[in-house]
Amino acid sequence: MILFPFAEYWWFYLGFTAFVLVVLALDLGVFHKKAHEVSFKEASIWTTVWISLALVFNYLFYLYAQYSFSTNERYTSIPGFDPDGQAKITALEFLTGFVVEKSLAIDNIFVFAVVFAYFGIPKMYQHRVLFWGILGALVFRALFIAMGSVLMQYQWVVLFFGALLILTGTKMFFAGTKPQNLENNFIVRQLEKIFRVHPQIEGQKFFLKKNGLTYVTPLFLALIFLELSDIIFAVDSVPAIFALTKEPLIVFTSNIFAILGLRSMYFMLSGVMDRFAYIKYGLASVLIFVGLKMVWLNEAFGGKFPIGWSLAIIAALIGSSILASVLIDRRKQKMDIETVNLNEEGGSHENR
């Protein structure tokens, strides 16, 4: 049984979408109207704002679910239905979906860095590219979720995507931390064949007109590549949240909130990403875990693996990979400092 069917809650989807559009309009039209390089402090503040908004929404969603489950005959007529308990499960599902999507989005951040470096996008224009990239991602994610809400009703589809997540996670795990290179990327080569590309960046423009011809700038190529890469990522991330909840409304809202803060998280982590070299193993483990939920664990636990356990396991996997990255990075820095000191001492002895 779907607790929040679209036919009854279309107004919720509409209101939430309107809220997102207003927030994005304020973001680009007010707070980032003038192109500038986003500092670590500014990015940290915005990351905190986006996460806080998600948590506030989660609490309000819990209160609304509790009220609706307690007063709506659609739910009260179900024998043994516990309104408060189900509202808590609903809130946990949103939080878990948000954590999963936020974690998997870290992979997008590495792609952002590679794409911007390859196309030579100055830092002051990166926010504009990401803004339109995120806006496009919201549209594509909504389409993926709408399709997923229909397809995930078929068991063979669930098993297929579960197996796909396990294979993707396994591949990511053994791929390790090898840096990406776009020099021979198929998508990049095709984009450069399709469009008339202007070799230089002209401010924050995506298009240029010269001698009666329309050119696309490197900013536009970077935007298209980011959109296409996000579609590829969505093939993993959307089924991953459907493994945690069958409610399209929860999948939609948690996914959108995670994407909204992706730009600020990129600017916050862009300077220290090399220190989180082992987080890919945590992300790979999460994909394998949610894949196992789809193909085995949910059925093994009577149709649904406990959402509280899922949140704890996912948090432990991501947290341990972050901790391992930090500890190993500190150890490496300490060893580098010791090596430098030894070399300096050796040099001073030779001078004597």
Reduced 3-state DSSP string for the chain: CCCCCHHHHHHHHHHHHHHHHHHHHHHHHHHCCCCCCCCHHHHHHHHHHHHHHHHHHHHHHHHHHHHHHHHCHHHHCCCCCCHHHHHHHHHHHHHHHHHHHHHHHHHHHHHHHHHHHHHCCCHHHHHHHHHHHHHHHHHHHHHHHHHHHHHCCCHHHHHHHHHHHHHHHHHHHHHCCCCCCCCCCHHHHHHHHHCCECCCCCCCCCEEEECCEEEECHHHHHHHHHHHHHHHHHHHHHHHHHCCCCCHHHHHHHHHHHHHCHHHHHHHHCCCHHHHCCHHHHHHHHHHHHHHHHHHHHHHCCCCCCHHHHHHHHHHHHHHHHHHHHHHHHHHHHHHHHHHHHHHHHHHHHHC
Decide: 162 and 293 in contact? Cβ < 8 Å.
yes
Whole-angstrom CA distances from 308 to 29, 90, 102, 192, 294 are: 40, 11, 18, 47, 16
What pLDDT score does 10 carry? 93
Q: Which of 31-35, 70-74, 219-223, 263-267 has the lowest mean pLDDT?
A: 31-35
Decide: 214 and 196 in contact? Cβ < 8 Å.
yes
**pLDDT at residue 95 is higher than 90:** yes
83-119 helix and 248-260 helix, angle to the nearest 10 degrees: 40
pLDDT tens-place string over residues 130-142:
888 888 888 888 8
Reported as a pLDDT band with limits 50, 70 and 90, residue 197 is confident
Between residues 280 and 179, the one the model is more confident about: 280
What pLDDT score does 180 carry? 60
Q: Give the mean model confidence (pLDDT) for residues 139-163.
A: 88
**pLDDT at residue 123 is higher than 90:** no
Between residues 32 and 97, the one the model is more confident about: 97
Q: Which of 177, 134, 133, 157 is nearest to 284 (CA)?
A: 177
Reported as a pLDDT band with limits 50, 70 and 90, residue 276 is confident
As a whole number of angstroms, the distance between CA 113 and CA 266 comes to 8
What pLDDT score does 190 carry? 80
What pLDDT score does 98 carry? 93
Q: Give the mean model confidence (pLDDT) for residues 26-42.
A: 73
**pLDDT at residue 126 is higher than 80:** yes
Between residues 311 and 178, the one the model is more confident about: 311
Quick one: tokens of 348? 């001073």
Q: Give the mean model confidence (pLDDT) for residues 215-223.
A: 88
Q: Give the mean model confidence (pLDDT) for residues 240-265.
A: 89
Neighbour tally for 350: CB within 10 Å: 7
Neighbour tally for 301: CB within 10 Å: 12
Domain ranges of the chain: 6-347
What pLDDT score does 33 carry? 67
**pLDDT at residue 61 is higher than 90:** yes
Q: Give the mean model confidence (pLDDT) for residues 13-35.
A: 81
Reported as a pLDDT band with limits 50, 70 and 90, residue 266 is confident
As a whole number of angstroms, the distance between CA 97 and CA 91 comes to 10
As a whole number of angstroms, the distance between CA 145 and CA 150 comes to 9
Neighbour tally for 115: CB within 10 Å: 23
Looking at every residue in the chain, the average pLDDT score rounds to: 84
